[in-house]
Amino acid sequence: MRRSASPYLAAALGVLLFVDVLRVCLPSIITTFGQAAATPAELMGAFALLWFVLALAAPALFRTVGADRIALVAALTLVGSRALLPATGGGPAQLYLASVGLLAGLVWLAGLAANAPTAVPGLVVGLAAGTVLHTALGTYDLVWRGPEQYLLLVPVAVGFVAAQRTVGGPDPDGPARPWFLVGPALLLWGMLAGSPALAATGASYLAGALAGTDRVAVVPPGGALPLTVLVAAAVGLFLVTGLAAERHRPPRWLYPAALVLGTALFAAGWPLALPVAIPLAAAGLGGCLALASTPTAPAPAGTGGAGGSAATTGPNSTNTRRAYATLAGTLVFVVAAIGYYAAYDLGYPNGWLPLLVAVVVATLAIRAPAPAVPVEGVPVGPVPGIAAGPTRTPRRPWSRSVVVAGTSLAVVAGLLTASGAGAADPFDGNRVRLVAYNIRMGFGLDGRFDLPDLTRTIAGQRPDVVVLSEVDRAWLLNGGHDTLALLAARLDMGYHFAPAADPVWGDAVLTRLPVDSAGTVALPAVGAPTGAQALGVVLRVGDRELVVVSTHLQPPPDGGPVEQARTVARYAAELAAGRPLVLAGDLNTQPGEPAFQALLERGLTDALAADRPLPTSPADRPVEQIDHVLVSDGLAPSDITAVPGTASDHLAVALTLTLPLG
């Protein structure tokens, strides 16, 4: 292996593995350490931050032990933790093993920074490859699957370790700026530009708008084609701008402007803006990384290298500065990520956080030193110890092949992704089986993203309609899964999804029955940090109509969700207009409480009353009755059950509803 290529290959494969571990570690902090919001958000944030702060001790050891040795040990630890994660079975073992892998990945990045002048091309390729793989897997990552995952993990791990062993010695002239941008790039790529789940969600909102629904996402027509177009555009633009030679770049301000604009559209929370925000941010991020890593003229001895601040202690100081810059950038990642998602527990505006990170990246990119030779053949001024003369802008003869290959693979990955369209079934009877389930973003009590168990819990009831709460379609903190599309595909159902907290977190209705119309209404916040909505779907049951309303009430800090209950009951009654009505979901209130009574006062009936008490939370020792199904007069409930299982922290509620004849 050529030594000049080894940092790029090590960076690409290492980033691929590091992101894989992140997709386990971050949700484990929420589900296992945090116990699904039972632990204060501040404490969860401190736990996550701890591992990033611990990594800051590594550069101090580089001079005595050697950055190359420490980086190799960290690389082996990263590989080992990733390989062992599936065997933990979830729980604390998964949490702490993933945290060790996270720490190892951070130390490896710092060691790579101290030994390689730049790894931006490798970072770009690694992030793009991660998105292609994530897309091909339908966002259901290998780490949550069975033994077949090792067919890909083993060659990646071997290639990574082999490349890391051949990374060259210290390079005193490498700039620190691009290494600082590694952390912000991980955030913006994972949260926005490189998220196939976000692309799928954006495509589904467009499909909903074309179908005439108001802020309701539906399965896009044409299968996986809309997702394919968005992912291929994002990956292709990111590779083109991130790997392009300086002489092929447009004006320096264009990429920073594209990144900031794309992130601003995302931060605004407009569902229909997502298909525009994704490719804009991808092109801008790649261009900013390339601008920040543009080669410059060698600096005089003792200056600390191009792109860095002045220093007088020679190469080792430069290498340490690059390592610290890398770790400082990852601190930006964790603070911004935790800060963004903690807003849904603590209640403050959070859209400015990714936008601020984008502004930082854009500013550093546009302020990066101009290239030493912007046009081939122009001589460089004299540099001590180096003869002046014609110099060429470094070429990357492999970059065009990487762009073509990466974009092609993105197209294939998108086309392989199941759409979960679910054909509408003809229905001649008057009995409908319904399941209401708070799925906790797809994570079970053991902290694992257990899609098979979740599917079995629902499919075992043979439902015609499924009402879901806490549906996550792209949150980076939860691993970036499109839980809704994954479930819909496995249940062979179509879906209607409405946003609550933001465009990718909310409630859904899945069904194989024909859908006549759908809409959503926002519920009053009443001081609750997480938003709430009511999704109304009108189903065709033979020659009759059935109105289904899915909601997840959010109680304010000082009481029950009475005002939200009144609003959703009024909305449901107006939507039904005398037609049979079902209102279901996690209502965060128990029978007899004021919010529950407010629902009954609008003429609804407790469909589960005959089987009370029917506790549903927590799933392993249920004591609270907070998951409900309420119906209008004329709907007869039967075969009621709270389905045992730990695929979520709630139990699913299932029942059969008999519609009146005539």
Residue 461 or 1, more confident: 461
Range with lowest mean pLDDT among 194-198, 304-308, 465-469: 304-308
**Is residue 527 predicted with pLDDT exceeding 50?**
yes
Burial of 473 (0-12, 13-18, 19+ CB in 10 A): buried
Is there a single domain that holds both residue 412 and residue 463?
no
Give me the pLDDT at residue 81, please. Answer: 97
Does a structural domain hold residue 265? Answer: yes
Does a structural domain hold residue 382? Answer: no
Q: 87 to each of 81, 97, 143, 443, how far by Cα in Å?
A: 10, 11, 10, 17
Is there a single domain that holds both residue 474 and residue 501?
yes
Give me the pLDDT at residue 286, please. Answer: 96
Is there a single domain that holds both residue 400 and residue 451?
no
Domain of 515, CATH number, reads: 3.60.10.10
The whole-angstrom distance between residue 646's C-alpha and the CA centroid of its chain comes to 23
Is there a single domain that holds both residue 353 and residue 479?
no
Q: Is 208 left (phi over 0), alpha (psi -120 to 50) or beta?
A: alpha
Does a structural domain hold residue 173? Answer: yes
Closest-CA residue to 638 (of 652, 654, 650): 654
Is there a single domain that holds both residue 296 and residue 440?
no
β-strand partners of 200: none
**Is residue 361 predicted with pLDDT exceeding 50?**
yes
- C-alpha–C-alpha distance, residues 480 and 248, integer Å: 33
Pick from 362, 384, 416: which residue ends a domain?
A: 416
Q: Is 223 left (phi over 0), alpha (psi -120 to 50) or beta?
A: left
Q: Supply 452's token pair.
A: 């098979």
**Is residue 377 predicted with pLDDT exceeding 70?**
no
Give me the pLDDT at residue 170, please. Answer: 56
Is there a single domain that holds both residue 399 and residue 532?
no
- C-alpha–C-alpha distance, residues 414 and 138, integer Å: 8
Give me the pLDDT at residue 558, please. Answer: 80
Average pLDDT over residues 622-629: 96
Answer for the pair 300, 383: CB distance below 8 angstroms, yes or no: yes
For residue 520, what is the enclosing H or E element?
strand 515-522
Residue-wise pLDDT for 235-294, tens only, equals 999 999 999 866 556 788 999 999 999 999 999 999 999 999 999 999 999 999 999 887
Range with lowest mean pLDDT among 167-171, 268-272, 373-377: 373-377
Q: What is the model's pTM? A: 0.92
How many other CB atoms are found less than 10 A from the CB of residue 217? 32
Is there a single domain that holds both residue 367 and residue 451?
no
Does a structural domain hold residue 380? Answer: no
Domain of 216, CATH number, reads: 1.20.1250
Pick from 383, 416, 449: which residue ends a domain?
A: 416
φ/ψ of residue 577, rounded to 5: 50, 45
Range with top average pLDDT, 133-137, 292-296, 393-397: 133-137
β-strand partners of 307: none
Answer for the pair 654, 435: CB distance below 8 angstroms, yes or no: yes
Is there a single domain that holds both residue 102 and residue 241?
yes
- C-alpha–C-alpha distance, residues 315 and 338, integer Å: 35
The three-point CA angle 413-417-418 to 5° equals 165
Domain range for residue 567?
431-658
**Is residue 428 predicted with pLDDT exceeding 90?**
no
Answer for the pair 586, 469: CB distance below 8 angstroms, yes or no: yes
Is there a single domain that holds both residue 21 and residue 164?
yes
Give me the pLDDT at residue 4, please. Answer: 67
Does a structural domain hold residue 405? Answer: yes
Domain tally, the chain: 2
State whether residue 100 is helix, strand or coil: helix
Question: Rounded mean pLDDT of the chain?
Answer: 88
Is there a single domain that holds both residue 489 and residue 632?
yes
Is there a single domain that holds both residue 328 and residue 464?
no
Q: Supply 48's token pair.
A: 């996550």
pLDDT category at 303 given cuts 50, 70, 90 is: very low
| % of the chain surpassing 70 pLDDT | 88
Give me the pLDDT at residue 313, please. Answer: 42
Is there a single domain that holds both residue 350 and residue 463?
no
- C-alpha–C-alpha distance, residues 588 and 183, integer Å: 38
